[in-house]
Structure 1
Amino acid sequence: MKTSPVSALAILFAVCIAFSATSQSVATKKGTAERIKVHGKGLEGNLSGDSPDRDVSVYLPPSYKTDKNRRYPVLYLLHGFTDNDAQWYGFTKHWINLPEVVDKAFADPAVREMIIVTPNAYTRFFGSFYSNSVTTGNWEDYVAKELVGYIDSHYRTIPTAASRGLSGHSMGGYGTMRIGQKYPEIFSSIYLLSPCCMSANLSPNRNEAAAGRMEAIKSMEELEKADFGTKAAFSTAAAWAPNPTKPPFYLDLPVKDGQPQPGILAKLAANAALSGIDQSISNLKKLHAIAFDAGSKDVSIAANNKVLDGVLNDYQIKHTYEEYEGDHINRIGERIGTKVLQFFSTNLSFEQPKRR
Structure 2
Amino acid sequence: MKSNRPSKPERRPNRMGASATPRNERPRREAPPRVENVRPQGAVSSQMSWRDKFDAWSAHHSNSAIESLLRMLGTPLQSLMTWLVIAIAIALPAALFVVFSNVQQIGQSWQDSSQISVFLKKEASAGQAQDLRSRWAKRPDVVQATYVSPEQALEEFKLGSGLGELANHLDENPLPAVILVKPKIGGNAPDALTSLQQALVADPLVADVRLDMLWVKRLHQFITVAERFVVALAGLLALGVLLVIGNTIRMAIENRRDEIVVVKLVGATDAYVRRPFLYTGLWFGVGGGILAAILLALGFWWLSAPVTQLADLYQSSFRLQGLGFIESLQLILIAGFTGLIGAWIAVARHLYQIQPR
Please indicate, yes or no, whether the TM-score normalized by the shorter chain is above 0.5.
no
More helix by share: 2
More strand by share: 1
Bigger Cα Rg:
2
Q: Which fold has the larger relative contact order, with Cα–Cα distance below 8 Å and residues 6 or more apart in sequence? A: 2
Under a length normalisation based on structure 2, what TM-score does the superposition of the two structures give? 0.21
Under a length normalisation based on structure 1, what TM-score does the superposition of the two structures give? 0.21
